[in-house]
Amino acid sequence: MTAAAPAGRRPKHVTWGRVGVYAFLICSAAFFLLPLWIMLLTSVKTMDEIRLGNILALPTDPTFQPWIAAWSQACTGLACDGIQVGFWNSVRILIPSVILSILVGALNGYALCFWRVRGADLLFAILLIGAFIPYQVFLYPLVRLFSVLGIYNSLAGIVVVHIIFGMPIMTLLFRNFYSSLPRELFNAARIDGGGFFTIFTRVMLPMSTPMLIVATILQVTGIWNDFILGLTFAGRENLPMTVQLNNIVNSAQGERAYNVDMAATMLTALVPLVVYFVSGRWFVRGIAAGAVKG
Amino acid sequence: MSAVSVREVTVAFESVRVFDGLSIDVEQGEFLVLLGPSGCGKSTLLNAIAGLLEIETGQIWIGERNVSWEEPKDRGIAMVFQSYALYPRMNVRGNLSFGLKMAKTPKAEIERRVAHAAAILQIEHLLDRRPDQLSGGQRQRVAIGRALVRDAAVFLFDEPLSNLDAQLRNELRVEIKRLHQRLGSTTMIYVTHDQIEALTLADRIAVMKDQLIQQLGTPAEIYHRPVNLFVAGFVGSPRMNFIEGRLEQAGNGLAFAVGDRRLPLDGYEFGVRPEAGRPATLGVRPEHLAANGIGNWPGFTAEIVEPTGADNLVLCTDGALSLEVRMPGERTITPGTPIALGVDAHRVSLFATGSGERL
């Protein structure tokens, strides 16, 4: 008996379509990476070298002096403490805002999903509409409200603002996640005698790890990158890093130190970048978990 | 006094009212099965008893207490779910003891009860595993164990075996029956759409359809004297044969007539003796059509033969009628074999055409 060769042509692995796809992907990657590359290059050049105007050239004499200057010496107005002040302000805003907004969102999602609140669907719809109204609309009323409550221009004020503006998306995220869990699990916990908060903390939250990670990524990057809310509500003492960066870059005294500006920008962008690099895998997994497990 | 008493209950379920004043009583130590197709309201009734669904009107009594408004945990019930509903982030020990911890049971007592339940269900070696490290059968054992540690007077089962494969289902069915016998005075209410589970487990079965209890009775009553066409068709596999015909006067008694065939109904116990001439449906179970060659209904031939091992299921036809017959497996029958069927009037059911009620 002879071994019969498979009929038809052997499938090719390199096709024109595939070459096209790779070419497109490489071009897009270059397009998005180029600004980052230029910033990195510029931030390690001396001002003399920058003045030559050759923005793509590699630095002949790489120096980290601009980074040090950006961190601890750059001036905003009269103060010359660098961007580190903003960094620590941002951290102080970030930590309570992220934790509280996620907790509030998870609690909302849990209550809406499992406790058959009367009018739950309507409440949820209203909350979602809130997510679609541009938040500039809320700024002035909130400023008035906060100054009446005495938390305008304070750390508490900016944290509350972040909780409020994070609520719709966090609630949506957790409600949909909890809807994908079997209701019987909740029923079992009720028969076992769990109350509203016990079921939430002992049964639901421990199961929410993927969503907690997704929510953390969304909130850390969102709150870190926020500009207008920080500028409006945080008060002079607590201005976040983004506002501080703007003040450094736009301070109109003397020569414009491009290398320091670039270094300050990189420093500001560092937190979201680290979050993406560390948790990118989790981010994808978290989004897929809801879809696959059903 | 009944262990569980449902009195004139109506449930408002997402703006639809179900049950128009449904009542049922379950005796202490009884195993009651709620049997019906999906959407018949059996799970809704169970959830209402458990307190997971609010009832609109009526009362639910468990033991000597009116628990209509009580929280599920205070009703003295334990429940086992179809999807097991184990807490995925706790190990088996954690799952078993969660309810007891919620009830602030002393630690030693928790340990004693968990060990006891684990011993009964033979899951001692699994206590430190997490649910995702267990097989389906093991998970359901743990779920039953979680009910067991609660020391409840009433056990509620919501299709506990439906997610398991056939072999495991049989094993756990026996296990549940053993558990019921062992616990003695524990009342069990068990929801299923599987009539084999219902017939094998129940002391009494409530067959449900369209939010109504069609028939409540022992498995034998349900099987041999179904009150209407629905119950007759739903219980029994293969299905009961239904033959449309008429009632005729035959001497002093009545006979069932279809085409040229007659079946004298002298041995049949009528509920109310109907008048001759009315149309009726005759129901005969496949095993009650004795095919031994000396039947009173000759002239059939075997059309399709389905061997199931112990039995052969033979679809017999005479051109007009097609009847499913259960024959002993050792007798080989080939399609085309002529067969005479023997119909015993003691063992048939007669239903009024139209209403479907038993005559």
Cβ–Cβ gap A185/B79 under 8 Å: no
What residues of B are in contact with residue A203 (Cβ under 8 Å)? Answer: 87, 89
Q: Are A170 and A239 in a shared domain?
A: yes
Predicted pLDDT at A135: 81
Q: Are A57 and A88 in a shared domain?
A: no
| Mean pLDDT to the nearest integer, A268-274 | 90
A292 vs B311, more confident: B311
Q: Chain B interface residues facing chain A, Cβ-Cβ under 8 Å?
A: 47, 50, 52, 71-73, 77-79, 81-83, 85-89, 98-99, 102-103, 146, 150, 158
| Mean pLDDT to the nearest integer, A118-143 | 86
Closest Cβ–Cβ partner in A182, A191, A203 for B79: A191
CA distance A180 to chain B (A): 13
Burial of B342 (0-12, 13-18, 19+ CB in 10 A): middle
What residues of A are in contact with residue B78 (Cβ under 8 Å)? Answer: 191
pLDDT greater than 90 at residue A275: no
What residues of B are in contact with residue A185 (Cβ under 8 Å)? Answer: 83, 85, 87
Residue-wise pLDDT for B301-328, tens only, equals 999 999 988 888 999 998 888 999 998 8
- Residue A290: pLDDT band with limits 50, 70, 90: very low
Asked if the structure places residue A108 within a domain, the reply is yes
For residue B77, the chain A residue with the least C-alpha distance is A191
Asked if the structure places residue A134 within a domain, the reply is yes
pLDDT greater than 90 at residue A25: yes
Closest Cβ–Cβ partner in B73, B82, B83 for A193: B73
- Residue A291: pLDDT band with limits 50, 70, 90: very low
For residue B147, the chain A residue with the least C-alpha distance is A192
Retrieve residue A283's tokens. Answer: 């981010």
Q: Are A52 and A101 in a shared domain?
A: no
Query: Contact B45/B6 with Cβ under 8 angstroms?
Result: yes
Q: Are A131 and A172 in a shared domain?
A: yes
Percent of chain B at pLDDT exceeding 90: 58
CA distance A156 to chain B (A): 35
Residue-wise pLDDT for B255-304, tens only, equals 999 888 888 888 888 888 888 888 999 999 999 987 766 778 888 999 99
Q: Are A183 and A131 in a shared domain?
A: yes
Q: Are A130 and A237 in a shared domain?
A: yes
Closest Cβ–Cβ partner in B52, B89, B150 for A190: B52
Predicted pLDDT at A1: 54
Q: Pick the range with the lowest mean pLDDT from A164-178, A274-288, B18-32, B267-281.
A: A274-288
What residues of A are in contact with residue B158 (Cβ under 8 Å)? Answer: 184
| Mean pLDDT to the nearest integer, A218-226 | 92
How much is the pTM? 0.83
DSSP code string of B202-248: -SEEEEEETTEEEEEE-HHHHHHS-SBHHHHHHSSSSPPEEEEEEEE
pLDDT greater than 70 at residue B112: yes
Closest Cβ–Cβ partner in A188, A194, A198 for B85: A188
Cβ–Cβ gap B83/A184 under 8 Å: yes
Asked if the structure places residue A71 within a domain, the reply is no
Q: Are A24 and A141 in a shared domain?
A: no
Cβ–Cβ gap B146/A203 under 8 Å: no
pLDDT greater than 60 at residue B337: yes
CB pairs under 8 A between A and B: 58
Q: Chain A interface residues facing chain B, Cβ-Cβ under 8 Å?
A: 182, 184-185, 187-194, 198, 202-203, 206-207
CA distance A186 to chain B (A): 8
Q: Are A46 and A136 in a shared domain?
A: no
Residue-wise pLDDT for B30-84, tens only, equals 999 999 998 888 999 999 999 998 888 899 999 999 999 999 999 989 999 998 8
pLDDT greater than 70 at residue A287: no
Predicted pLDDT at A116: 75
Asked if the structure places residue A7 within a domain, the reply is no
CA distance A235 to chain B (A): 43
Q: How many CB atoms lie within 10 A of CB B228?
A: 19
Residue-wise pLDDT for A152-163, tens only, equals 989 999 999 999
Asked if the structure places residue A250 within a domain, the reply is yes
What residues of B are in contact with residue A294 (Cβ under 8 Å)? Answer: none
Asked if the structure places residue A271 within a domain, the reply is yes
Q: Are A216 and A287 in a shared domain?
A: yes
Q: What is the 3-state secondary structure (H, E, C) of chain A?
A: CCCCCCCCCCCCCCCHHHHHHHHHHHHHHHHHHHHHHHHHHHHCCCHHHHHCCCCCCCCCCCCCHHHHHHHHCCCECCECCCCHHHHHHHHHHHHHHHHHHHHHHHHHHHHHHHCCCCCHHHHHHHHHHHHHCCCHHHHHHHHHHHHHHCCCCCHHHHHHHHHHHHHHHHHHHHHHHHHCCCHHHHHHHHHCCCCHHHHHHHHHHHHCHHHHHHHHHHHHHHHHHCCHHHHHHCCHHHCCHHHHHHHHHHCCCCCCCHHHHHHHHHHHHHHHHHHHHHHHHHHHHHHHHHHHHC
What residues of B are in contact with residue A119 (Cβ under 8 Å)? Answer: none
User: In what helix (H) or strand (E) does residue B324 lie, and over which residues does it extend?
Assistant: strand B322-328
Cβ–Cβ gap B83/A202 under 8 Å: no
Cβ–Cβ gap B50/A191 under 8 Å: yes
For residue B146, the chain A residue with the least C-alpha distance is A192
Predicted pLDDT at A292: 38
Q: Are A58 and A109 in a shared domain?
A: no
User: In what helix (H) or strand (E) does residue B92 lie, and over which residues does it extend?
Assistant: helix B92-102
Write down the mean pLDDT value for chain A.
87
Write down the mean pLDDT value for chain B.
90
Residue-wise pLDDT for B155-170, tens only, equals 999 999 988 888 889 9
What residues of A are in contact with residue B79 (Cβ under 8 Å)? Answer: 187-188, 191
User: Strand B279-284 relative to strand B261-264: parallel, antiparallel, unpaired?
Assistant: unpaired
What residues of B are in contact with residue A184 (Cβ under 8 Å)? Answer: 81-83, 85, 158
CA distance B141 to chain A (A): 15
Q: Are A154 and A212 in a shared domain?
A: yes
Asked if the structure places residue A74 within a domain, the reply is no
Predicted pLDDT at A269: 92
Residue-wise pLDDT for A51-101, tens only, equals 888 888 888 888 889 999 999 888 877 778 889 999 999 999 999 999 999
CA distance B333 to chain A (A): 44
Asked if the structure places residue A30 within a domain, the reply is yes
Predicted pLDDT at A166: 92
- Residue A242: pLDDT band with limits 50, 70, 90: very high
Predicted pLDDT at A6: 81
Q: Are A277 and A182 in a shared domain?
A: yes
Residue-wise pLDDT for B180-214, tens only, equals 999 888 999 999 999 999 999 999 999 999 889 99
Give the CATH number of the domain where residue A91 resides: 1.10.3720.10
Closest Cβ–Cβ partner in A184, A198, A207 for B81: A184
CA distance A221 to chain B (A): 29
CA distance B74 to chain A (A): 8
Cβ–Cβ gap B146/A192 under 8 Å: yes
Task: Look up the domain containing A162 and give its range.
Answer: 84-292
What residues of B are in contact with residue A188 (Cβ under 8 Å)? Answer: 79, 81, 85-87, 146
> What's the structural domain count of chain A?
2
Cβ–Cβ gap B73/A203 under 8 Å: no
Predicted pLDDT at B345: 85
Cβ–Cβ gap A184/B146 under 8 Å: no
Retrieve residue A259's tokens. Answer: 């290398």
CA distance B217 to chain A (A): 29
Interface test with B, best of A114, A115, A191 (most B CBs within 10 A): A191
